[in-house]
Structure 1
Amino acid sequence: MSHIPVGISSCLLGQSVRHDGGHKHSRFCTGVLAEHFSFQPLCPELEAGLGAPRPTIHIRDIDGDLRLVESKGSADHTDAMRNWIKQRIPDIDQLRGYILMAKSPSCGMERIKVHNAEGRVIHREGRGLFAEALIQAYPLMPVEEEGRLNDSHLCENFIERVFAYDDWMNLVESGLTPSALVDFHTRHKFQLMAHCNQTHQQLGRMIANLKSAPIGEIGNEYIALFMAAMRKHIRRGAHANVMQHMMGFLRQALSASDRQMMTEQIDAYRREEVPLIVPMTLLMMAQRRAPADYLSRQEYLSPYPEQLGLRNKV
């Protein structure tokens, strides 16, 4: 399997591009995710011409205009940053996700300090200039901050979205057709059920009525709703419900004792006594004994490489 192209702040790869001439090397990114992602590094501040090392900069709200200004001085780098962003943003369209550096006035995704014209903090609800442009230009692309990947639930959600978005982008590049859209929906049906059953039902009705509009329009509406649903975190009860639903496709492979054991392990997972991998392994073993074609096509069984171990935590 070829690696998936994912953007990343250069400092997270160990490149000495920060304002102090240092870096913020993420061993999780370079040691774990790099096994599956082909990282495309960017440092907006360095590439916009600010140099490294460089004076510290922050965001100032000046008459409603967010400006990138040196914190100890009045040098304004906003125009240089915006010009660089305008030139660089179109090149990012081939990426399937992006990992940003937190707290950066250019790359921070959330909780960035915003100062007034005199340099006093007025709120902490800002977003870096590059991060804002990235999210505005590519609203469907999975974007996350490196620090938040330390949270196992946020990490799993981001990685699952990257693989799903990659699947969609490959479909679009091959040519979106009604049959291709039906196949995509079929593959991701149980994932949708787990993330948001209401959206799953809504998209199911859309798929059943593909002649209502041009396929391009339907595809755009479909993927917007799909990626919004994928951002929702899966609750244990939703996982349990999907696994019980899957058991219905495995009647021939399950004896009465098998069904009892599987039900017990699903209930144990619901009670937070075992990790998701335990009941999922039982389901996959039953699927291998007597393969159900419909289940074999489901991305839910393996939404990302097993080596990542994201379903191993209780």
Structure 2
Amino acid sequence: MRQFPRPIVVVSRCLEFDKVRYDGQVIHSRIVRDLEPFVDYIKVCPEVEIGLGVPRETIRIVRKDGSYRLVQPATGEDLTDRMNSFTEGFIEDLREVDGFIFKSKSPTIGLRNIKVYAGVENAPVVERGTGFFAGKLLAKYPGYPLEEEDRLRNTRIRQHFLTHLYTFADMRNLRKSASLENVQDFLNRNEFLFLAYNKDLQKKMFGLVQDGTKPIDNILEELASLLKQLMVRPPVHQANIEAARAMLQSIAADLSETEHQFFEAMLGRYEQNKICFSTVLELLKLYFLISGKDPAYHTLLLPYPEDLILEVDEDRDKDFWKQG
């Protein structure tokens, strides 16, 4: 049985945990609930941390003379310095982290499309950007899995985020048990997953351990840097097909011609968007079992715990034919 790492995730406190939103409410988030048994959360609400109450008057980002300020229109208070000071201290204290889940539309902790106004009151939106707190986290942790709770309702974004998150957690653990053997095992487990994400970067990763002379600390630093570049975006379907074919080739001698032909037919159906890639992966799991190998070893087949996989059809048992 494969043992998964336990990711460390910074999460907005208003998501499922505490009634700290400006209107005194808590926001429900399935991804936050689903992850709770499997991760260690670091909860944060920047507004509360700098002393604002609950409930509280809204705040906004204002651009004036090329400078960005965080202000509370109802009171006229400028919160910029307090927020910057808290954020810098939070980052300094954040020793270990694998990913972030933030609240959308927040002027402090939102990641995307945050309104920036021309003035404190009765002023138009002049641009959209990143929240005060979140922006500094993005700058400090480029390439890390960072998402907002509303986007994580999308199945594909959720799958990519979880794969990204567990890969980074695995990398963090690797750095604690640094050895050339462990690095090689990490690469072997992720060989086909990394191939799907970016075959050029995957090749560079394997090249780090080929001559065996490079110091382990240098290998780990370069590997972590390449990993941040590798997982910025999820694989496209053609890359998934290439990785699946390569994976099948690794056990080709154990399969019949009929099994090879059936697999190619399944890839064709996936390419035509008639089946999901998860169906292809399930077939690969079966073929690995037939060949006597453990499919759970490879992260392409099992990138995160199965308990985090969403239901395919939530209405499967609903009686659509019930009368009345």
Which of 186, 191, 194 is residue 192 of structure 1 equivalent to? Answer: 194
Give how far 1:188 is off: 1.3
- Equivalent pairs counted in the alignment come to 309
Matched, 1:7 2:3: no
Residues 269 and 181 of structure 1, relative CA distance in 2, 3 Å threshold? same
Give how far 1:70 is off: 0.8
CA distance in 2 between partners of 1:276 and 1:29 (Å): 25
Look up the match of 2:320. none
Q: Which runs of 5+ in 2 are unaligned?
A: 314-324
CA distance in 1 between partners of 2:54 and 2:157 (Å): 31
Q: TM-score, normalised by structure 2?
A: 0.87
Residues 310 and 198 of structure 1, relative CA distance in 2, 3 Å threshold? farther
Give how far 1:145 is off: 0.7
How do 1:16-95 residues align onto structure 2 when only pairs under 5 Å count? Answer: 16-30=19-33, 32-95=34-97
Q: Which runs of 5+ in 1 are unaligned?
A: none
Matched, 1:114 2:116: yes
CA distance in 2 between partners of 1:37 and 1:123 (Å): 38
Residues 137 and 40 of structure 1, relative CA distance in 2, 3 Å threshold? same
User: Contact 1:163–1:304 (CA<8 Å) still a contact in 2?
Assistant: yes
Give how far 1:162 is off: 0.5
CA distance in 2 between partners of 1:71 and 1:173 (Å): 47
Matched, 1:283 2:284: yes
SS in 2 for 1:299: coil
Greater percentage in helix: 1
User: Contact 1:276–1:311 (CA<8 Å) still a contact in 2?
Assistant: no
Moved over 4 A (4+): 310-313
SS in 2 for 1:49: coil
User: Contact 1:60–1:115 (CA<8 Å) still a contact in 2?
Assistant: yes
SS in 1 for 2:150: helix
Give how far 1:14 is off: 4.3
Look up the match of 2:300. 300
User: Contact 2:192–2:244 (CA<8 Å) still a contact in 1?
Assistant: no
CA distance in 2 between partners of 1:230 and 1:303 (Å): 13
Look up the match of 1:183. 185
User: Contact 1:7–1:95 (CA<8 Å) still a contact in 2?
Assistant: yes
Give how far 1:118 is off: 5.0
Alignment RMSD: 2.2
SS in 1 for 2:40: strand
Residues 147-156 or 245-254, more deviating: 245-254
User: Contact 1:275–1:311 (CA<8 Å) still a contact in 2?
Assistant: no
CA distance in 2 between partners of 1:99 and 1:278 (Å): 28
Residues 85 and 170 of structure 1, relative CA distance in 2, 3 Å threshold? same
Give how far 1:244 is off: 1.2
Look up the match of 1:133. 136
User: Contact 1:113–1:121 (CA<8 Å) still a contact in 2?
Assistant: no
Can you list the C-alpha shifts for 1:126-169, whole angstroms capped at 9, x where unaligned? 21111112122222431111111122221111110100000000
Look up the match of 2:145. 142
Residues 43-52 or 295-304, more deviating: 295-304
Between the aligned residues of both structures, percent identity stands at: 29
How do 1:233-312 residues align onto structure 2 when only pairs under 5 Å count? Answer: 233-292=234-293, 297-309=297-309
Larger RCO: Structure 1 or Structure 2 (Cα < 8 Å, ≥ 6 residues apart)? 2
SS in 1 for 2:303: coil
CA distance in 1 between partners of 2:31 and 2:141 (Å): 25
Give how far 1:100 is off: 0.3
Give how far 1:86 is off: 2.2
SS in 2 for 1:157: helix
Give how far 1:58 is off: 0.5
Can you list the C-alpha shifts for 1:24-83, whole angstroms capped at 9, x where unaligned? 2213421x2224223322111011111111111001123333211013342111122122
Look up the match of 2:226. 225
User: Contact 2:99–2:144 (CA<8 Å) still a contact in 1?
Assistant: yes
CA distance in 1 between partners of 2:171 and 2:28 (Å): 30
How do 1:206-225 residues align onto structure 2 when only pairs under 5 Å count? Answer: 206-209=208-211, 211-212=213-214, 214-225=215-226
User: Contact 1:61–1:117 (CA<8 Å) still a contact in 2?
Assistant: yes
User: Contact 2:5–2:166 (CA<8 Å) still a contact in 1?
Assistant: no
CA distance in 1 between partners of 2:126 and 2:283 (Å): 50
Residues 105-114 or 228-237, more deviating: 228-237
1:187 is aligned with what amino acid?
A: R
Matched, 1:162 2:165: yes
1:260 is aligned with what amino acid?
A: Q
